[in-house]
Each structure stands twice: as C-alpha cells, then as structure tokens.
Amino acid sequence: MSGRPVLFLSYSGVLGGAERVLLDCATRLGRPALVACPEGPLAEAAGAAGLTVEPLAQRPLQLRGAVRTALRNLAGHSADARRLVELHQPVLLAAWGSRAVLAAAAARTGALPVLAVHHDLPPGGAVSAAVRTATRRAAGTVATSVAVARALRVPHDVLVLHPGVDLEAWRPQPLPPAQPPRALVLGALVPWKRADLALEVAARMPELQLTVAGAPLPGTEDFAEALRGRAWREDLLGRVDFPGALEDPRAALASAHCLLHCADAEPFGMVLVESMSCGRPVVAAAAAGPLEIVRDGAGRLFPPGDADAAAAAVRAVLADAGAGAAARRRAEARFSVEASAGRFARAVDALVA
C-alpha cells in the first residue's frame, strides 16, 4: 500500500482500551497508517500488526502537579507532532486523546486536517476549556460514546464511534462450575476505576470469589497496595486474587461468571464489550458509557458508588441463566469491530477526499 499516510498521534504508549481501538482503526483503515507513540506495549503491538511506528519521548501519564511541567510535556508532544508532519507529509493527523488534541492544535500544521478523537470525559476547569477550544479547531471530531460527545460541548457534529471487538476472536466459553461464583474486575489499578468498591461488594457476598486483574500506573502504586491490604482483612481473606496485568484476558473471563466494573463514570468501557462478547454478563455503574453498553439483558447496572446495590446486581446476574447468551447477542448486534472501524474510516475519507 503506497501513498501519504494517516498519522495517529498518541501521548500514551500503554495498551489500554483507547490504544486497542487505535490499532483496530489503523489496521482497518484502507490507507497507509503511521503510529507515533512512546516505546512500549502500544508500539510493540502496532509493529506486530504491520504498522509503521515512529517512537516518541516518554512523558508522564499523570499531568497533575506543577503547571510548568505539564505545559512543558505538552509542548514537547506538540513539537513531536510538528516534526512528524513535516517529515511524513500525512494526509490527516488523527489526534488520539485529549493531550494529543491539545498538542495538534498547538503544532500549527497549516492546512493539514486534524481529526480529534476523544475517549475520556473532560476533567473540568481550565484543562477542560482548553480541550474544548482545541477540539473546535479540528476539522472533525470522534468520540467513543454519547456521554463523551455530550461532555465536549462543541458546536459541530461529533461522530460517536462505539468501538467494537473481533467477534470471531472473542467467542463465548463454557461457564465454570457454578460454585463458588467468581466475578472478574479488569482494568488498571487506578483510583477512578474503583476496584476498592469491588472489594466492598465482595465483602457483602461471602460466597463470592473475586479476581482483580490489572496493574497500577505510575503514581498509583499506593492505591494498589491499599487494595491488597484490604483483601487481607478477615472478611475477604482467601477470596481475592491479584494476577496483575493480563496480556490476554480471555482465559480470566472464561474462569469467571460475570464482569464487575465499578468506575463511577467510565467514558466507554472496552472491557465491558469484550466480556459480553465472551458470553459473560456485566455488572457496572449506571453512568456514562455503561448506560450505552449494558442493555437488553446483558447484565445489571447499579447506582455509582453503592456497594449494597452492586452486590444485589451481582446476585441477580448470577441467578439469571440467560444473561450470558443475552450479553453475546448484544455484542453481536451493536459492537463488531468491522462496523466501528468502518465508521472511523469513513470519517477519515470525508476529510481527505
């Protein structure tokens, strides 16, 4: 495949949900794609998928703290964007995430169209205002959920992507033995994902085994250690496993009866879609992305932060013999990767035609 590429600009080099969506879109674009990101899991996966990778400097994922340091990091990311645009002459810059959107706006790349791709809810305050201003300057905007699109509050239309998965690769697996029931918590061990609430749910369900799969990000090690300390208390002792980050969560999903997702406001939630595709129902907080995903009997929702209601929702899902099949049907109907990547490709085509 020849021609000028689409430049995917990512501040992050990890391989979380947003980065997996990047790979899904870049590999199904129908055009040359160049992924610019720090060295790490995303760069390795992009290279393994046959994509061209431009390594960027590693910069802290946590932008809190000294304002000058945060601005210096964003300025460096912007300089990277400008350098790569001059070097590769892409047909479009896909700014993957709010920090990349800010960097692209500051890079002043002339007539090059920028597609602002948002996965997160704006944080509020001056940062949120800056992100919205940068997004308004973009030629087009993509959001992974209606919740994210509404929170951006930009005057132009926003394409809602609703990322999907490869339904052939993520197939339903037989359920494990009914007793003891097991719930899986899957995601980075960061405070906003609320794995601490999942432990309190398990504390209210003496019959439940819990797997908390994930690793802390830089700066959240104390939170992860506090989770392990809570799991050693008498009411949870021997019922919680911490296997760390999983390169492929399908085996963990096969060993669980449901996914428990406790984030108070998950912007979208790729792990929810992956779980449903594997025939595992989801119990999640009734806010933001999960409201758009967990429907048609595919699981249960609970008021954010309510451990008692979450425990009741887990019990209801475990008692529902048809929940797994309903979860798979929901995934098949609304969350195929071909459909979501096709929407992204058409958005690119509309800007470079």
CB 293 within 8 A of CB 263: no
Q: What pLDDT does residue 3 have?
A: 87
Burial 311-325 (b: 16+ CB within 10 A, else e): bbbbbebbebeebbe
Calpha distance 271→259 (Å, rounded)? 9
- For the chain, list the domains and their CATH numbers: 6-164+336-352 (3.40.50.2000), 182-334 (3.40.50.2000)
Helix (H, G, I), strand (E, B) or coil at 321: coil
CB 231 within 8 A of CB 240: yes
* Segments in the chain below pLDDT 70: 1-2, 61-68
Tokens of 203: 């504390």
One-letter amino acid at 158 equals V
CB 193 within 8 A of CB 224: no
Q: What pLDDT does residue 1 have?
A: 47
Give the closest residue to 349 by CA, choosing from 47, 19, 108, 25: 25
Residues forming beta bridges with residue 54, ordered by sequence position: 36
Give the closest residue to 331 by CA, choosing from 256, 254, 259, 278: 278
One-letter amino acid at 310 equals A
Q: What pLDDT does residue 219 have?
A: 86
Q: Is the pTM of this model over 0.85?
A: yes
Calpha distance 160→158 (Å, rounded)? 6
DSSP assignment, residue 255? T
Q: What pLDDT does residue 70 have?
A: 74
Which of left, alpha, beta for 34 (phi over 0: left; psi -120 to 50: alpha)?
Answer: beta
CB 92 within 8 A of CB 115: yes
Calpha distance 352→347 (Å, rounded)? 9
Tokens of 192: 């906003």
DSSP assignment, residue 319? H
